Amino acid sequence: MTEPVQIEFCANDAEALARARGRVAVLADAGAALTPLGRKLDRLMRGALARAVASEAFAALKPGESLELGFPAGMEAQAVQVVRLPRKATQAEARKAGAGIGRSLSPLATLVLAEGHPQAAEIAFGLALRAYDFTPHKTAPASQPGPVRVMVSAPEKTAAAARAGAAVAEGVFFARDLVNEPANVLTTYDFAARLAAMQDLGLEVEILEEDALQKLGMGALLGVGMGSETPSKVVVMQWNGGPKGEAPFALVGKGVVFDTGGISIKPAAGMEEMTMDMGGAAVVAGVMRTLALRGAKANVVGLVGLVENMPDGRAQRPGDVVRSMKGDTIEVINTDAEGRLVLADVLWYAQERFKPSGMIDLATLTGAIIIALGHENTGVFSNDDALCDAFLRAAKAEGEGAWRMPMGPAYDAKLKSRIADMMNVGGRDGGAITAAQFLQRFVKPEVPWCHLDIAGTALLKSDSTLAPKGATGWGVMALDRLIRDRFEVK
């Protein structure tokens, strides 16, 4: 997997500034005095830093933004990046500042002068997230960033504070890598193998093959993959870090490694992006990796349904009727509404086997949620106000956009089938809501549940603050925060 850049926290050392190679980033704020290392840097640069901080251009910057001074006099460094960041900066501003540094790391070295800033660990976290670069399929040698050092007043204390963030960053990178991989590489075989390898981290990983899924009665999930040469699988990942015997919290992910739409085939334009239709499963995997890396004191089980939706002589047809593990029958009106069929069986299996204390599923489920919320927010649907509110607080705390959407019995009428218990689609209007209503039929009333439709947030066509163009890993940070705040043993 893509490894996060390694960051070393070291003690403040004014004498090292002149010989620092590559890039130097210094924190400052308009109207505020320079820090001790900033004053040393200014003397080396013959007053250029002070003039830059006093300029109108610097004053116009928002917290976290920066300007650059190239080839500073009196230094070996090629550039000094002057980052505007108040001492009382918010977490989001600190991460943005770090991301601005991480976007342009030097192949020689990068030195960050954080000194006694209280958000130094968050600056490092933002730097690590934005430095992500997915390059395994490029033949030209990728330029790797040189060593990154962050000068701070208390290196050991700051390193300890940054440790949990480093685990989250690795989980985010794992999720991004999975979403960015092409489907000829990330088959259901390869996906399952990558998850099985996490046994080395202490996770218990079990792979259920098609014969086991047939015995369990997962007709809804198996129907989706009938047209593919790669077999459908369910992977179960358990992290038992909480009290023995305590019911786990369950995360369930849609893992459609490629979605042509099946017989209800999608238009050719843009179909290449359907390599990301396993984004929900990627986030579940990223969260489970994070929990293992940081030794979370909670019991959590992650389940992902891995399938490929292809057109073929054996493929599922519109008008077919499948029977779910629950026993309900489903009339397949549109084979491109396949994710909910996968989730239906995995959700039911999770409840039957693990009796979870609560459950959240994630899926790149509907284009309708993009029409409703764009690419800024994930759609959140829930049967439980307490769990939903806790998740929304966690998402807000981590800066991951999420918005609660309505549900209600009136939408169920749109799923009524003439020949089966339900249809898998309910028409274009309210499409994201009827998809959630469909899933709710496979959630037991006593189980607190949220459905996260990440179709608009899993993959972006332009850079975001903490990620380059492509996979975002949205949800790893919010779900890790939810588990830390709500389910871990204190």
Catalytic positions are 266, 340
Residues near 163 by beta carbon (within 8 Å), at least 6 away in sequence = 294
Q: Which amino acid, 296?
A: A
Q: Which amino acid, 452?
A: L
Alpha-carbon distance of 324 to 319, in angstroms, equals: 16
Alpha-carbon distance of 83 to 79, in angstroms, equals: 13
- CA angle (283 as vertex; 197, 296 as ends), nearest 5: 70
Q: What is the DSSP string of 348-414?
A: HHHHHHH--SEEEEEE---SHHHHHHTTT-EEEEES-HHHHHHHHHHHHHTT--EEE----GGGGGG
**Token pair for 350:** 């999770």
261-to-304, 312, 317, 320, 490 alpha-carbon distances in Å: 20, 11, 11, 15, 46
Q: Please name which of 86, 140, 78 lies closest in space to residue 109, comparing C-alpha atoms.
A: 78
Three-state SS letters, 140-189: CCCCCCCCEEEEECCHHHHHHHHHHHHHHHHHHHHHHHHHHCCCCCCCHH
Element (H, E) at 473: none
Q: Which residues pair with 404 in a beta bridge?
A: 380
Q: Please name which of 5, 479, 482 lies closest in space to residue 285, comparing C-alpha atoms.
A: 479
Phi, psi of 251 (to 5 degrees): -115, 130
